[in-house]
């Protein structure tokens, strides 16, 4: 179950924000500062952070993004100053809310944050799965797939690697099965996903 984490210096502020979210029957945990939160949080779990910032310039968002990148951050500020909102978003906040907090806006922001968190977790899970599959490929299978996706025909790949064209086809077929690609376009997409994550 995803958890909403409320980080605010004042106990009254933590309680007030938590009360608004708790009314939606969500799991909520509160912390007095970012350090206390980071010492507790397991980054493998989905959720989002509601962070109260009293200062216009704060390293809190950057710290959270550095250690808990998958968790969206909703910044709560005493002021609706545009510059402050822009700065928070540039630092990586997913949303910015000014006080006084409206329950509907906060709940909507939390739901968007949770949707983002689930999507990021799924993306991370898929990358790990792809990496595990990639690591089952033999060196020859990696060479064959890489050459084929460079646009080279089987005969040219075979000549380059010193093997028969039929052997190229076998290696390609085996690699596609291991990676879970049923078609060549799927293989291309998976290979690009691996390359995007610096996995191949």
Condensed to tens digits (0 to 9), the pLDDT of residues 66-80 reads 777 778 999 998 776
Cα separation, 79 vs 160, whole angstroms: 65
Which position has the higher pLDDT, 116 or 86? 116
How many other C-beta atoms lie within 10 A of the C-beta of residue 36?
12
Terminal Cα-to-Cα distance of the chain (whole angstroms): 33
Mean pLDDT of 102-130: 90
What is the DSSP track for 3-63?
A: EEEEE-SSHHHHHHHHHHHHTTT-EEEEESSHHHHHHH--TTS-EEEEEE--SSS-SHHHH
HSE toward the beta carbon, residue 176, CA cutoff 13 A? 17
Is residue 197 pLDDT above 80, yes or no? Answer: no
pLDDT in tens, 165-186: 999 999 999 999 999 999 989 9
SS3 content of the chain, % helix, strand, coil (to 5): 60, 10, 30
Structure tokens at 61: 């968002």
Mean predicted confidence (pLDDT) in 151-164:
93
Q: How confident is the model at residue 138 (pLDDT cuts 50, 70, 90)?
A: very high
Looking at residue 143, what is its pLDDT?
A: 95
Give the residue from 75, 132, 124 showing the smallest Cα distance to 101.
Answer: 75
Q: What H or E segment, with its residue span, contains residue 74? A: strand 73-77
Task: State the pLDDT at residue 78.
Answer: 79
């Amino acid at each position: 179950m995803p958890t909403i984490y409320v980080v605010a210096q004042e106990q009254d502020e933590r309680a007030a924000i938590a009360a608004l979210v708790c009314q939606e029957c969500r799991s909520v945990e509160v912390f007095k500062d970012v350090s206390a939160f980071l010492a507790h949080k397991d980054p493998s779990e989905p959720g989002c952070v509601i962070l109260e910032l009293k200062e216009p310039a704060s390293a809190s968002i950057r710290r959270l993004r550095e250690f808990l990148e998958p968790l969206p951050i909703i910044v709560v500020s005493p002021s609706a100053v545009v510059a402050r909102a822009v700065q928070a978003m540039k630092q990586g906040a997913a949303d910015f809310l000014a006080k006084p907090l409206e329950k509907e806006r906060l709940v909507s922001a939390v739901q968007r944050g949770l949707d983002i968190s689930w999507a990021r977790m799924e993306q991370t899970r898929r990358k790990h799965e792809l990496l595990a599959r990639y690591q089952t490929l033999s060196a020859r299978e990696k060479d064959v797939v890489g050459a084929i996706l460079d646009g080279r025909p089987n005969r040219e790949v075979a000549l380059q690697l010193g093997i028969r064209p039929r052997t190229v086809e076998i290696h390609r077929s085996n690699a596609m099965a291991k990676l879970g690609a049923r078609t060549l376009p799927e293989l291309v997409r998976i290979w690009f996903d691996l390359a995007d994550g610096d996995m191949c």
